[in-house]
């Protein structure tokens, strides 16, 4: 199967929207991590741990976007 290379999608989000998205991703990362910890079977736990890490990484991206200077509108 061919690997696709995705270009970053540029969204025009306000600071408040970025903060909300980051908070939601942090909450999902926590919830998935907690679900993973409750499972005894490591095969079932793996995908939830992966999801938790992906949500945390996405939250970091939203948080980093909040720190960048805004361009365009004043």
* pLDDT tens, residue order, the chain (74 aa): 556 677 777 778 999 999 999 999 999 999 999 999 999 998 999 999 999 999 999 999 999 999 887 665 54
pTM over 0.95: no
Return d(Cα 17, Cα 24) in angstroms, integer.
10
Q: What is the pLDDT of residue 67?
A: 86
Q: What is the pLDDT of residue 37?
A: 95
Q: What is the pLDDT of residue 74?
A: 45
- Per-domain boundaries in the chain: 15-20+39-67
| 13 close to 68: Cβ distance less than 8 angstroms | no
Q: Which residues contact 13 (CB under 8 A, 6 or more apart)?
A: 21, 65
Q: What is the pLDDT of residue 8?
A: 77
3-class state of residue 29 by DSSP: helix
């Amino acid at each position: 199967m061919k690997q696709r290379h995705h270009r970053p999608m540029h969204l025009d989000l306000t600071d408040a929207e970025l903060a909300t998205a980051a908070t939601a991703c942090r909450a999902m990362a926590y919830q998935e991590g907690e679900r993973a910890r409750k499972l005894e079977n490591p095969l079932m736990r793996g995908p939830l741990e992966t999801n938790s890490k992906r949500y945390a990484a996405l939250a970091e991206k939203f948080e980093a976007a909040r720190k960048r200077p805004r361009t365009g509108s004043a």
